[in-house]
Amino acid sequence: MLENNGFTFESLHTGMSAEFSKTITETDIVNFAGISGDFNPVHINEEFARKTRFEGRIAHGMLSAAFISTVLGTRLPGPGCIYVSQTLKFKAPVRIGDTVTAHVEISDMNIEKSFVTMKTICLVGDKTVIDGEAVLKVPRREMPAKEH
Amino acid sequence: MLENNGFTFESLHTGMSAEFSKTITETDIVNFAGISGDFNPVHINEEFARKTRFEGRIAHGMLSAAFISTVLGTRLPGPGCIYVSQTLKFKAPVRIGDTVTAHVEISDMNIEKSFVTMKTICLVGDKTVIDGEAVLKVPRREMPAKEH
């Protein structure tokens, strides 16, 4: 009787993709610092951040990474899937005002385990800011109960 | 002239560790959903979540993962380091009221690249909820300028 608006394993195939985009605001960074406790000055102290190689505040890497989880958990495969693992390579900084697009695409499927491997990237314009891979366990189609 | 309250590469050695703990509240989950856009019902809909294998709402995996970033960016190696990569294996769900401890420990150092590899885990009590590894680039000690 599980409500599940996400995809079942049987309805997925390699090459399927989805994305989620959001503009990073100062408010997001302030709130993310408050929730996570990550008050690294490179995120919340403009005077400090200006003297670093980034020349100004940058968003928490995990904030952009969270958008990957958003696509996976709400769009593809969607509700009902179990997050097994995620790799993240932080390639470039994200700044206030940047619009981050998290793009996920199914690269492999393991029938025995009901595991789906997804290529996961975050882009700002054409630039990859995060590169990585996710593995999810996706529910199978429910079989109708046999009558006795 | 870089202000840097974090460790320099030269002052680190394998085996050094640090941690950060936080109790997960309902407020954190609500706010994290708002910032990330991740309104997967398993996080924000108790009636849906109760019918899943989790039998109730669970926290976003990336919320606990963010605590790893918090330790790395604020304690060890601390401000000034660059987040290169992170792997995350989600081993068990985290619920409202759980206290998550993110523990990081230096497992390897690469002198040529100024890279430090850290074993990163998140615990609830004795149970590992996230297991993984981070790589960071850590600033070198600044050499005093030579006189001409």
- Residue B142's pLDDT is 75
pLDDT recorded at residue B147: 52
Mean pLDDT computed over A12-25 = 98
| Mutation for testing the B interface, residue in A20, A22, A29, A40 having most B CBs under 10 Å | A40
Tell me which of A7 and A2 has the higher pLDDT.
A7
Q: Which of B12, B2, B140, B146 minimizes the C-alpha distance to B75? A: B12
Q: Please give the structure tokens belonging to residue A147.
A: 């009558």
Mutate which: A45, A69, A120, vs B, most B CBs within 10 A: A69
Q: What is the pLDDT of residues B36-82, one digit of tens each?
A: 999 999 999 999 999 999 999 999 999 999 999 999 999 999 999 99
As a whole number, mean pLDDT of residues B79-92 equals: 96
What value does the mean pLDDT take over residues A120-146? 91
Lowest mean pLDDT among B64-78, B118-132, B134-148: B134-148
Q: What is the pLDDT of residue B143?
A: 66
Q: How many angstroms away from the CA of A78 is the closest CA of chain B?
A: 8
Residues within 8 A of A (CB atoms), B 111-130 only: none
State whether A69 and B32 contact (CB < 8 Å).
no
Cβ separation A36–B63 shorter than 8 A:
yes
What pLDDT score was predicted for residue A144? Answer: 63
**A55-59, A130-134, B144-148: lowest mean pLDDT where?**
B144-148
A78 vs B contacts (CB less than 8 Å): 40
- Which residues, other chains included, contact B97 with Cβ-Cβ below 8 Å and sequence gap of 6+? B23, B24, B25
Contact, B29 vs B59, CB < 8 A? Answer: yes
Q: How many CB pairs under 8 A join A and B?
A: 129
Q: Which two tokens stand for residue B92?
A: 């068990």
Q: pLDDT tens-digit profile of A63-73?
A: 999 999 999 99
Cα distance between residue B111 and residue B78, in whole Å? 18
Q: Which residues of A touch B86 (CB under 8 A)?
A: 61, 65, 87-88, 90
Predicted-complex ipTM score = 0.92
Test A86 with B87 for CB contact under 8 angstroms. Answer: yes
Model's pTM, two decimal places?
0.92
pLDDT of residue B2: 44
pLDDT at A30: 97
Q: Which residue of B has its CA nearest to A79?
A: B40
| Best CA proximity match to A129, nearest among A102, A106, A104 | A102
Q: Is the pLDDT of residue A4 over 60?
A: no
**What CATH architecture applies to the domain A9-137?**
Roll (3.10)
DSSP H helical segments within chain B, as ranges?
A: 26-36, 41-44, 46-50, 61-74
